[in-house]
C-alpha cells in the first residue's frame, strides 16, 4: 500500500497523499526499504520536486541506512556491542589502573 502511494513520483508528481507516504517511509525506516530505488530517483532526478519531498526522500534513505543521492551520509551511530569506540583495529583502550 505504501509503495502504491509513492507511484505519482514516477511521473514527477507529488500530491498530498504521496508526500505523506514519503514522510512515513522515513519514520518506518528499514522495513520500508523497498521504496529506496524510487526515493533515490527523487533525490537525483532532474525533475523539480518540492523541497519538502526531496528532504523527506533524503531522510528516508538515511533511515534505510543508505546515502542519499547528494552524497551526504547520516552521522554514524554509537559503536555496536563488541566494537571499540574510536580505537582502531588492534588498539587497546588506555589502562586506567596505572
Burial of 11 (0-12, 13-18, 19+ CB in 10 A): exposed
Binning the chain into helix, strand and coil, the percentages to the nearest 5 are 55, 0, 45
Residue 74 has pLDDT above 90, yes or no: no
51 band by pLDDT with thresholds 50, 70 and 90 = confident
Residue that has been written with the C-alpha cell 525533475 in this structure: 47
- Residues 51-83: b if buried by 16+ CB within 10 A, e if exposed: eebbbbbbbbbbbbebebbeeeeeeeeeeeeee
Question: Who wins on pLDDT, 5 or 51?
Answer: 5
Cell numbers placing 36? 529506496
pLDDT in tens, 11-25: 889 999 999 999 999
Residue 43 has pLDDT above 90, yes or no: no
This prediction has a pTM of 0.63
Provide the pLDDT for residue 8.
93
Amino acid at each position: 500500500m505504501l509503495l502504491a502511494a509513492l507511484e505519482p513520483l514516477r511521473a514527477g508528481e507529488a500530491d498530498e497523499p504521496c508526500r505523506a507516504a514519503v514522510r512515513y517511509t522515513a519514520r518506518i525506516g528499514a522495513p520500508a526499504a523497498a521504496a529506496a530505488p524510487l526515493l533515490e530517483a527523487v533525490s537525483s532526478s532532474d525533475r523539480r520536486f518540492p523541497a519538502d519531498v526531496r528532504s523527506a526522500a533524503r531522510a528516508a534513505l538515511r533511515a534505510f541506512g543508505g546515502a542519499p543521492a547528494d552524497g551526504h551520509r547520516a552521522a554514524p551511530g554509537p559503536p555496536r556491542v563488541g566494537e571499540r569506540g574510536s580505537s582502531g583495529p588492534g588498539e587497546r583502550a588506555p589502562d586506567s589502573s596505572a
